[in-house]
Amino acid sequence: MPSPLLIWQYLCARLDLDPDNEDGMTTTEVAVITFLLVGAAIVVMGVIYNAAKGNADNIPDPKAP
């Protein structure tokens, strides 16, 4: 099976695309994508924090004999 890099290079050559060309990307698009990724990371960290806190709160207290 061909590697994904080989497939990517073939498609770029076949469709006459330059993968290093950034003509279509504007600063606003990059900023919006970055904002969405940061927002998603904050949500994921919140979920992980709540799960860890819930697990820590469920640890039973040791009782003296």
If phi > 0 it is left, if psi is from -120 to 50 it is alpha, else beta; for residue 16 that is left
| pLDDT tens sequence for the chain (65 residues) | 778 899 988 988 998 888 787 777 678 888 999 999 999 999 999 999 999 999 998 888 888 77
Q: Whole-angstrom Cα distance, residue 44 to residue 35?
A: 14
What's residue 20's pLDDT? 80
